[in-house]
Structures are given as structure tokens and as C-alpha cells.
């Protein structure tokens, strides 16, 4: 097999990259180790920034998101049993976020790729990358126990933290930054009406809670637990009891409960690989970086990565200009490190750390009280939560670049 861009990973990052390339007349092949059913059924993020919404619409795959997604103007903070609202729309001059589950984004992108005749190969095994330092890199894998090879001009590694792309970069050419946080999140999916209309972030002496409304029938909730905790320790009754305690408030509000249909514990960590490119290999999404989910940046960073990468490929194939390809890593990392900063800041403000003393707890409360009484501080929170713009080389405007990126040839 031969293509211009070989894409490893059929999640949202790989699918979006393939579709953006298609809109620019650039050929690609996606390979994915899981089945289509498992890819479409993976339940993860559900909050998209303004820029991600615009990218889906400009790429022609936003119709179902616009019909079924829930746009919101702000987020809620709860501490000392009181609620405070941060109005992103007012503070940022019109930016919003939308609740639209990641698995639905994935389904929309798969449908768009298949309708356009795109090639997605599922259930591959033993994926390896070869000759990435040369002008003819190759991807090898097994499909139905037969060895296959894709010869391409470039390889995009959109294969997540545990994929084979990043380890292909020799250690001497990369620096990996890793910070493991001293807690995890116990996440549940609940069959219940929404308890809130906007994201609710709760600081409590027993630990953090996040309520993320998804659909009129299904809600996502998280509570802070030790990183090495066992999900077997958490019966449904214990989960609801803990949530009631941490969500206690002095105003008229009720936690709406229902059957828990999924529960798991995920560790919290921050990770960045620098650089995100080596030879003809480019990393995007979780293969290059992971952020704590408190600020809802994971999927959004992946989309900004592939937006930059697709523009860089377009400039090369359609204009013969390699500048954006050469600057890909630097361009992405500027936004990634700012997202890391914001994610760590909001995580530190809202979570209880094992080493925290009563003094540390009072400092957290002072930080939160300052936040909700300072226009400048709330504006900073709103700008970061709604999404910072991509800082394109030579200060090219984000709006103009987006329009050029998705225009049909």
C-alpha cells in the first residue's frame, strides 16, 4: 500500500487529521488496533472548546453536534457550600463550550471518512515504524495474521500514550516530562436527569467532585480518590453517600441519582514529549501530551495539534512550503504548555493533596474567594477554559488559517 500520509490511530485525532487532509486533496490511510465497534464505544471526554466546535463545523462534520450538543455559556464553582458562576460568554466576548460526547464525535468523523471513500483499517496488530529518518518512511503491521506495509511520505502518530509512535523517536532526541499527581478520579456514568445545567466543580475538605451533564438521560460524575484505590472498594451506596457529603450546599439544590452503568478509577498525570516530530514522523494528541482532565483540555489539544499539522501538510503539498512542517512542534508546544499550566492550576485550586495542612486548606479557600470576586481572575479562568487561540508563526490569524484549512480544492 502507498499513501501520502500514513496515520496510526483511528480515534478523534487521527480521524480529524485524515478528514482535513482529504479536504485539501491529500491522501491518507488510517490504521487502528481496535475494532470499529470498540472505537465508537470508547466513552471519554465530553466538553469541547469554541475552537473545536468551529473546526468541526468548518470541516463539514458538525451537523449532529449542533442538533444534539448542549452549548453552555459558563461553569459553576462550589466551595464553602456556596455556588459561584463564571460566565465565559460575557468574559471572553462570546466564547462558549459544548457538551457533546467524544464517542459521538468519533462516530461523526468515521461516517464522514467512509462517505468520502477514506481508508480505515481496523484490528491491526504488531504495528511498527521504519525509516522515519528517510524520505520513504514505512508502517508495518499484521492484519488477519498477514504482514502488511504502508509506504508513505509522512507518518502521523495519533496512537495515544501507549502506542508505538513516540517510542520510535530515539531517547537522545527527545525529552519527556512526566508528573504523576497524588490522586485519581473515580468516574461514573449515571442514568439520571441532569443535576446541573453547566459543569459543576466542587472543592471540599473530603476531596474534589465534578458533575458533567451529558444528555437528558445520562450524566458523568467524578470524585477524587487515592491513586491506588481499588474500584471494588466503592459500592454504589458508598459512591452516592460520598457524593452527597461533598456536594452539600446551603441553597435549594438536589443531587439527582440513578443507576450507575459504568465506574472506573483513572490516575491523574501530566506528560509532554518535546519535540513532537522526528524525521518524517509527527506526533499528535495523547501520544505527545496528557493533561489532568480538570480543565477539559485533552480532546481539544488533540484537535489543535491536527489542525496545525493539516495546515502544515497543505502548505507543503499544495504550495511547496515546508516552513509549517518544520515549526510544527514549536507551534503546538506553545499552546500545550499553556494548557498544562491552566490544568495544573485549576487542579491545585480544587483538589485536596495528601500533604495538605489546615493552612494549605485555608490558602485554597482564599484563592477561590479571590477568583470569584476578581474580574481579572475570572476573565483569565474563562479565557483558558473556553480555549486559547493557536499562536501561528508570523502571527497569522486563527480565523483565516481555519478557513484556508478546510476549503475544498
Domains of the chain, with CATH numbers?
2-74+95-179+269-354+399-406 (3.50.50.60)
Q: How far apart are CA 266 and CA 160, in angstroms?
A: 15
Nearest partner of 394 among 338, 337, 321, judged by Cα: 321
Q: How far apart are CA 385 and CA 32, in angstroms?
A: 31
| pLDDT tens-digit profile, the chain (409 residues) | 999 999 999 999 999 999 999 999 999 999 999 999 999 988 777 899 999 999 999 999 999 999 999 999 999 999 999 999 999 999 999 999 999 989 999 999 999 999 999 999 999 999 999 999 999 999 999 999 999 999 999 999 999 999 999 999 999 999 999 999 999 999 999 999 999 999 999 999 999 999 998 888 989 999 999 999 999 999 999 999 999 999 999 888 999 999 999 999 999 999 999 999 999 999 999 999 999 999 999 999 999 999 999 999 999 999 999 999 999 999 999 999 999 999 999 999 999 999 999 999 999 999 999 999 999 999 999 999 999 999 998 744 444 444 455 543 3
Helix (H) or strand (E) holding 177: strand 175-191
Q: How many helices (H) and strands (E) does the chain have?
A: 14, 19
Q: What cell does 137 get? A: 518512511
Amino acid at each position: 500500500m502507498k499513501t501520502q500520509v500514513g496515520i496510526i490511530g483511528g480515534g478523534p485525532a487521527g480521524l480529524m487529521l485524515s478528514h482535513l487532509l482529504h479536504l485539501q486533496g491529500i491522501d491518507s490511510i488510517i490504521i487502528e488496533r481496535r475494532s470499529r465497534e470498540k472505537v465508537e464505544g470508547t466513552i471519554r471526554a465530553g466538553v469541547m472548546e469554541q475552537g473545536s466546535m468551529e473546526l468541526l463545523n468548518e470541516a463539514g462534520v458538525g451537523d449532529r453536534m449542533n442538533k444534539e450538543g448542549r452549548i453552555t455559556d459558563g461553569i459553576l464553582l462550589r466551595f464553602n457550600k456556596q455556588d459561584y458562576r463564571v460566565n465565559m460568554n460575557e468574559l471572553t466576548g462570546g466564547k462558549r463550550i459544548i457538551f457533546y460526547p467524544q464517542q459521538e464525535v468519533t462516530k461523526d468523523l468515521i461516517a464522514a471518512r467512509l462517505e468520502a471513500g477514506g481508508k480505515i483499517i481496523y484490528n491491526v496488530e504488531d504495528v511498527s515504524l521504519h525509516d522515519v529518518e528517510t524520505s520513504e518512511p514505512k508502517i508495518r503491521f499484521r492484519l488477519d495474521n498477514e504482514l502488511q506495509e504502508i509506504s508513505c511520505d509522512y507518518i502521523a502518530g495519533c496512537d495515544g500514550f501507549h502506542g508505538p509512535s513516540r517510542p520510535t523517536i530515539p531517547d537522545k532526541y527527545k525529552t519527556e516530562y512526566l508528573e504523576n499527581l497524588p490522586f485519581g478520579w473515580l468516574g461514573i456514568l449515571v442514568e439520571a436527569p441532569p443535576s446541573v445545567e453547566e459543569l459543576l466543580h466542587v472543592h471540599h475538605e473530603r476531596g474534589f467532585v465534578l458533575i458533567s451533564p451529558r444528555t437528558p438521560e445520562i450524566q458523568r460524575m467524578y470524585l477524587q480518590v487515592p491513586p491506588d484505590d481499588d474500584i471494588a472498594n466503592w459500592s454504589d451506596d458508598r459512591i452516592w453517600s460520598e457524593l452527597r457529603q461533598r456536594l452539600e450546599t446551603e441553597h435549594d439544590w438536589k443531587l439527582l441519582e440513578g443507576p450507575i452503568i459504568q465506574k472506573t478509577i483513572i490516575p491523574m498525570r501530566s506528560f509532554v514529549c518535546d519535540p513532537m516530530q522526528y524525521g518524517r514522523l509527527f506526533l499528535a494528541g495523547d501520544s505527545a501530551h496528557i493533561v489532568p482532565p480538570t480543565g477539559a483540555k485533552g480532546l481539544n489539544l488533540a484537535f489543535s495539534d491536527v489542525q496545525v499539522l493539516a495546515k502544515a501538510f497543505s502548505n507543503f503539498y499544495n504550495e511547496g512550503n515546508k516552513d509549517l512542517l518544520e515549526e510544527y512542534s514549536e507551534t503546538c508546544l506553545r499552546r500545550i504548555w499553556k494548557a498544562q499550566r491552566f490544568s495544573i492550576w485549576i487542579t491545585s485550586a480544587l483538589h485536596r493533596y495528601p500533604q495538605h495542612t489546615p493552612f494549605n486548606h485555608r490558602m485554597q479557600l482564599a484563592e477561590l474567594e479571590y477568583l470569584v470576586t476578581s474580574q481579572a481572575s475570572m476573565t483569565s479562568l474563562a479565557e483558558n477554559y473556553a480555549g486559547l487561540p493557536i499562536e501561528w508563526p508570523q502571527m497569522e490569524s486563527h480565523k483565516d488559517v481555519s478557513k484556508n484549512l478546510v476549503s475544498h480544492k
